[in-house]
Structure 1
Amino acid sequence: MAQKYRFWDATIEELCKGYVYESSTDDYICLLCNKSFENGVIYPIDNVLYEAKKAIGHHIKEVHGSTFDYLIQMDKKYTGLSEHQKELLQFFKNGVSDKEIATETGGSNSTIRNHRFKFREKEKQAKVFLAIMNLLKKDEDTKDSFIDIHKGAKMVDERYAITTEEKERVLSTYFDKGLDGPLKTFPSKEKRKIIVLQHLLKSFEIKSSYSEMEVNEILKKVYSDFVTIRRYFIEYGFMERSKDGSKYWVKN
């Protein structure tokens, strides 16, 4: 499951590039889709041979357009940006003049300049906030730190305010025969559901797809009501499935 949170653990520089280098596997890995390119391997693309590092750059451009395109299209819960702000940033990225933007959006030159100014101020605030959070992490008790929110979460609210200590306590309660053992019962409280579902998802590989029968067989080993687990995987955004329900995969 480390791949699932690689995106959120990446540095600003890595997010801008769209990939990270994993020294443990000697791979360059796309942060946007987890596709990997092994260092030392030559990749033939469109009749051109690429080293791994150049191949992943080509992959990002061809498959995702650019990291800017990918990031700007992310949900507001991750960017904090309104649709109007996203539209303006896209204009700025494309080098459109303030006068042209004003004409296109029905605003004025001064309004567009004011938006530019506010974005610069927001950038300054973000830098200071990141520095504060980095300093906080150094002194923070790991048991009080919050667990990562899965990228497919459909609505991030207080249900996801789960500390590491709380997660360990809940798992020990519901998996009283050990974390590799069966689930005693499926919790009714939202926070506990998320904790249990996140743990059960570890039984599935991120890059693999599964038939409904395969999903059922994996879940049967830990809980008799596997249909409920399978349904909540979809409902809470841990997994996706094809329109005909024949294929399931971990949402990354």
Structure 2
Amino acid sequence: MEENNQLWDEEIDTIVKGYKETNEHFVCVLCEHVFEKGRIYKIDGELYDAYGAVKKHMQAKHGETVDYLLGRKPELIGISDIQQRILILMSEGKDDKAIAKEVGIAHSTVRNHRYKLREKEKQAKLFVALMQSLEEKTKRCIQQSNSGIIENLHDTATMMDDRYAITDSEREKTIKAYMDVNGAIKQFPAKEKKKIIVLREVMKNFIKDREYPEKEVNRILQRMYHDYATIRRALIEYGFLDRSDDCQTYRVKE
């Protein structure tokens, strides 16, 4: 079964629900199917609004989220093959005795796996807390560095590391090397830090709290660089621009 890699970027609560709501859509996060608000959908002879349609879609195509996740490769969610099988049987409401008989293991082994899975759940919570705390600390350390950082990190940066520790000197040299006096890009740099410097300059052409159709984004970027699609992708990748679920509009990410 094809994996939806973008699923892992969603919040835990959203993954559990199986869908998310935007200003204009309901989106199934398990397969990225989009349902437009204000539109009526006919499914199996019944009429549904976008909310009803995404719920019906979830039920018909994926079942419950637990069923979908247990259908993934076990290594993607950090469990063994036998733990996956035990969890599937648990989701079917079977007790330890029935699970032991069906899997062909001792009753005590089932209990031991239950214990290990509970411990894994606790560890996962602490690991998420650790990584979030690490990101916050890294951000503070970069901002407090005495190396002459040119500006605070943008809050939507996709990674907080030393690529963002940019000095005034680095900024000036990079802009001079890769951009002309009119702000056009002579060459898009390969190194991460230099990309970020150039992208920050590009973002001066966009206004917050405004939606840009893709054609307008392309026109703005095409004035600056011939391969505007590369710049557009980079602006999204590095957390400068946000793209709507239907890929039609863009806005400055906040």
Q: TM-score range with shorter-chain normalisation?
A: 0.5 to 0.7
State the aligned residue count: 177
Provide, for residues 224-252 of structure 1, a one-character-per-residue CA deviation record: whole Å limited to 9, x for no partner. xxxxxxxxxxxxxxxxxxxxxxxxxxxxx
- Cα offset, 1:26, TM superposition: 2.0
Query: Which residue does the alignment assign to 1:12?
Result: 12
Tell me what 1:43 maps to. 41
- Given that residues 139 and 161 in structure 2 are in contact (C-alpha distance below 8 angstroms), is that contact kept between their aligned partners in structure 1? no
Q: Deviations over 1:97-141 (max 9, x none)?
A: 211111112111111111112211211221222222223333332
Corresponding position of 1:140: 138
Pick 1 or 2: higher relative contact order, CA cutoff 8 A, min separation 6. Answer: 1
Q: 3-state SS of the aligned residue for 2:56?
A: helix
User: In structure 2, how many angstroms separate the alpha carbons of the residues matched to 1:72 and 1:140?
Assistant: 34
State the TM-score, normalized to the length of structure 2.
Answer: 0.53
Q: What residue in structure 2 maps to residue 117 of structure 1?
A: 115
User: Which residue identity does 2:76 align to in structure 1?
Assistant: Y
Structure 1: unaligned runs, 5 residues or longer: 149-161, 187-191, 196-220, 223-252
Matches within 5 A, 1:214-225: none
Task: Sort the Cα spacing of 1:100 and 1:134 in 2 relative to 1 into closer, same or farther, 3 A.
Answer: same
- Give the CA RMSD over aligned residues: 4.3
Instruction: For structure 2, list consecutive stretches of 5 or more residues without a partner in the other structure.
Output: 144-152, 167-173, 196-225, 228-254
For residue 20 of structure 2, give the secondary structure of its aligned residue in structure 1. strand
- Correspondence for 1:98: 96
Task: Classify 1:163/1:131 alpha carbon distance in 2 versus 1 (closer, same or farther; 3 Å).
Answer: closer
1:222-233 paired onto structure 2 within 5 Å = none
Displacement, 1:7? Answer: 2.3
Kept after mapping to 1: 8 A contact 2:135/2:160: no
- Asked whether the equivalents of residues 35 and 54 of structure 2 are also in contact (C-alpha less than 8 Å), the reply is yes
Q: How far did 1:183 drift?
A: 8.5
Q: Distance in 2 between matches of 1:54 and 1:112?
A: 39
Q: Using the alignment, how far apart are the partners of 1:106 and 1:69 within structure 2?
A: 22
Shift of 1:76: 4.2
Matches within 5 A, 1:1-252: 7-22=7-22, 25-141=23-139
CA radius of gyration, larger in: 2
Three-state SS of the structure 2 residue aligned to 1:140 is helix
CA contact (8 A) 1:10 1:20 kept: no
The 1-side partners of 2:82 and 2:124 are apart by: 20
How far apart in 2 are the matches of 1:43 and 1:53? 10
Percent identity among equivalent residues?
Answer: 35
Q: Is the 8 A contact 1:42 1:50 kept in 2?
A: yes
- Secondary structure in 1 aligned to 2:123? helix
Distance 1:177 1:5 in 2: 35
> Residues 125 and 134 from structure 1, CA distance in 2 versus in 1: closer, same or farther, beyond 3 angstroms?
same
Aligned equivalents of 2:63 and 2:53: distance in 1? 14
Task: Note closer, same or farther for the CA distance 1:165–1:58 as it changes in structure 2 (3 Å cut).
Answer: farther
For 1:120 and 1:40, the matched residues in 2 are separated by 43
Instruction: Point out 4+ residue stretches in structure 1 off by more than 6 angstroms.
Output: 142-145, 180-186
1:65 Cα deviation after fit: 3.0
